[in-house]
């Protein structure tokens, strides 16, 4: 490096580095260097020194790299606004053909091999896949930033718990009902606000999500407030999976005359959840190829052009909103039955941010991306449990960097291409 650097403008590099060092000293000096303790403080200059040094070294290397031809290209690639989707060549066969059966096989074998702990982790992963898929329709495809998404999740979860408590409805009744309930809530919220400018929408949905949480927290007579409420375990035609029958059914181990398996409940939830995820994946896959799916994406890219073409933008947006909300409702039911107990604390703003991060990192609009990032994110959260405090920071950094590096996410949407066939009606 030292031989080649003579051709660079070293002065610029050094000036940049010094400037950055000065700024980071002002930024980190007080907050990192002086730690409040009661009304006094402790001075920790070492930490500031390390941080400033790291920032300066980073800036130095970046400036050096920026002076090489490769580096210039690299920096240019940030400024490029890589537009939209890329179209696959006609007749392209996705690798998914081979991978999908393998995954399904692994998924079927999984409950027989895993411990209960890993079952619960994977169930959580799948719940986030559902949430991510739903939000992906709203944010990724329709381009509506929804920051109160967790509100619909809460509606699903509380739908199951309250429906069981007051109406005696079980898991299977509430599963479709919660989806409908959440969709209706989505429509009620969406109808008045969807005419709004995109950023206003973000704030209104944020407000709406908070309203739902606050009402759940304050409406003591019905929701028991912060104390939370119990949610029922799933049953299957009167068969129960717990050690003792609670719903008046028969525990499965007594029915089949086998010894009690503590994993049974989780295996059942896992199975149903996996099937639901597959179903949602399929529906979503079809939707994006239908006119309404095309309309979502067109509206995201250019609303004015769409309206000029005679598209009813409110209806199109509303459909995206409702489908996204109903998916969250489904996820909520699974969450409630999996945890067996819910309280409003599980549905705060950060949950919305987490789901948003999953969608953004996976690639706005990309189904595969969302599935992958939901798994990576949830597993990372589990595996890095010790780094609890840092993970949210890493999260924030990831969100900012991703927006600069790839505003459209890790995996870009690929659209299948079609060749015009001669003499055959398409």
Residues 270-299 close enough to bind another protein by CB under 8 A:
none
- Please choose, out of 3-11, 59-67, 99-107, 413-421, the segment that lies near another protein by the rule CB under 8 A: 99-107
Identify the three-state secondary structure at position 258.
coil
CA distance 267 to 62: 50
Q: If binding is defined by CB under 8 A, does position 81 make contact with another protein? A: yes
169, containing H or E segment: none
Site for another protein in 28-67 (CB under 8 A): 30-32, 34-36, 38-41, 47
In the complex, the smallest distance separating the C-beta of residue 30 from another protein, rounded to whole angstroms, is 5
Q: Under rule CB under 8 A, how many of the chain's residues touch another protein? A: 107
Tokens read off for 251? 């525990």
In the complex, the smallest distance separating the C-beta of residue 336 from another protein, rounded to whole angstroms, is 11
How many degrees, rounded to 5, is the angle at CA 213 between CA 210 and CA 219?
Answer: 130
Q: If binding is defined by CB under 8 A, does position 246 make contact with another protein? A: no
Q: In whole angstroms, what separates CA 371 from the centre of its chain?
A: 9
Q: If binding is defined by CB under 8 A, does position 248 make contact with another protein? A: no
Q: Which residues does residue 415 pair with via DSSP β-bridges, in sequence order?
A: 87
Site for another protein in 103-132 (CB under 8 A): 103, 106, 110, 113-122, 124
* Contact track, another protein, 144-183, x by CB under 8 A: -x--------------------------------------
CA distance 142 to 323: 11
* Contact track, another protein, 363-402, x by CB under 8 A: -x---xx-xx--xx--x--x--xx-xxx-xx-xxxxxx--
Which DSSP symbol is given to 90? T
Is 265 or 327 the residue whose CB approaches another protein more closely? Answer: 265
Q: Who contacts 205 (Cβ-Cβ below 8 Å, separation ≥6)?
A: 145, 146, 147, 148, 149, 151, 189, 193
Is 387 or 418 the residue whose CB approaches another protein more closely? Answer: 387
Closest CA to 160 of 178, 145, 134, 176: 178
Tell which one of 92, 243, 285, 289 touches another protein (CB under 8 A): 243
Pairing, β 34-37 against β 40-43: antiparallel
In the complex, the smallest distance separating the C-beta of residue 1 from another protein, rounded to whole angstroms, is 26
What Å distances lie between residue 36 and 28, 30, 41, 90, 352, CA to CA?
Answer: 14, 10, 4, 63, 31
Q: If binding is defined by CB under 8 A, does position 309 make contact with another protein? A: no
**Number of Cβ within a 10 Å radius of residue 27:** 14
* Contact track, another protein, 218-237, x by CB under 8 A: x------xxxx---------
In the complex, the smallest distance separating the C-beta of residue 275 from another protein, rounded to whole angstroms, is 18
The residue with tokens 């800036």 is 59
Tell which one of 45, 58, 262, 291 touches another protein (CB under 8 A): 262
In the complex, the smallest distance separating the C-beta of residue 330 from another protein, rounded to whole angstroms, is 17
DSSP secondary structure, 100-155, as one string: HHHHHHHHHHHHHHS-HHHHHHHHHHHHHHHHHHHHIIIIIIT----S-THHHHHH
In the complex, the smallest distance separating the C-beta of residue 363 from another protein, rounded to whole angstroms, is 10
- Please choose, out of 78-86, 178-186, 280-288, 313-321, the segment that lies near another protein by the rule CB under 8 A: 78-86
CA distance 41 to 151: 41
CA distance 136 to 360: 9
* Contact track, another protein, 315-354, x by CB under 8 A: -----------------------xxxxxx-xx--x---x-
Is 326 or 378 the residue whose CB approaches another protein more closely? Answer: 378
Pairing, β 250-251 against β 229-230: unpaired
């Amino acid at each position: 490096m030292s031989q080649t650097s003579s051709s660079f403008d070293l002065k610029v590099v050094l000036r940049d580095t010094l400037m950055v060092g000065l700024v980071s000293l002002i930024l980190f000096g007080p907050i990192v260097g002086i730690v409040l303790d009661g009304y006094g403080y402790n001075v920790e200059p070492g930490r500031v020194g390390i941080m400033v040094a790291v920032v300066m070294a980073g800036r130095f290397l970046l400036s050096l790299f920026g002076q090489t031809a490769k580096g210039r290209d690299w920096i240019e690639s940030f400024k490029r606004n890589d537009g939209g989707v890329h179209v696959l060549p006609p007749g392209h066969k996705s690798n998914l053909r081979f991978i999908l059966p393998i995954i399904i096989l692994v998924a079927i074998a999984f409950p027989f091999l895993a411990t209960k702990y890993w079952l619960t982790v994977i169930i959580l992963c799948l719940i986030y896949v559902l949430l991510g898929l739903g939000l992906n329709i709203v944010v990724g495809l329709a381009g509506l930033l929804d920051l109160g998404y967790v509100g619909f999740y809460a509606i699903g979860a509380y739908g199951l718990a309250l429906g069981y408590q007051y109406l005696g409805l079980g898991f299977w009744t509430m599963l479709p009902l919660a989806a409908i309930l959440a969709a209706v809530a989505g429509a009620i919220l969406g109808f008045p606000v969807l005419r709004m400018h995109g950023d206003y929408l973000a704030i209104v949905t944020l407000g709406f999500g908070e309203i739902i949480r606050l009402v759940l927290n304050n409406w003591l007579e019905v929701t028991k407030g912060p104390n939370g409420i119990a949610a029922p375990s799933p049953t299957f035609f009167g068969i129960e999976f717990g050690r003792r029958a609670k719903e008046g059914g028969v525990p499965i181990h007594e029915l089949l005359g086998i010894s009690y398996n503590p994993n049974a409940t989780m295996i059942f939830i896992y199975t149903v959840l996996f099937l639901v995820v597959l179903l949602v994946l399929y529906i979503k896959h079809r939707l994006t190829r239908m006119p309404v799916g095309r309309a979502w994406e067109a509206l995201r890219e250019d609303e004015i052009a769409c309206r000029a073409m005679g598209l009813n933008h409110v209806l199109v947006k509303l459909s995206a909103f409702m489908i996204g909300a109903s998916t969250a409702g489904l996820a909520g039911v699974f969450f409630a039955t999996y945890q067996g107990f819910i309280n409003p604390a599980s549905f705060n703003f950060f949950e919305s941010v987490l789901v948003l991060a999953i969608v953004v990192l996976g690639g706005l609009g990309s189904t595969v991306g969302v599935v992958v990032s939901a798994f990576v994110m949830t597993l990372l959260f589990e595996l890095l449990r010790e780094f609890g405090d840092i993970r949210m920071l890493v999260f924030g950094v990831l969100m900012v960097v991703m927006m600069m590096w790839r505003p459209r996410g890790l995996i870009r949407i690929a659209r299948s291409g079609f060749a015009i066939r001669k003499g055959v009606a398409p």
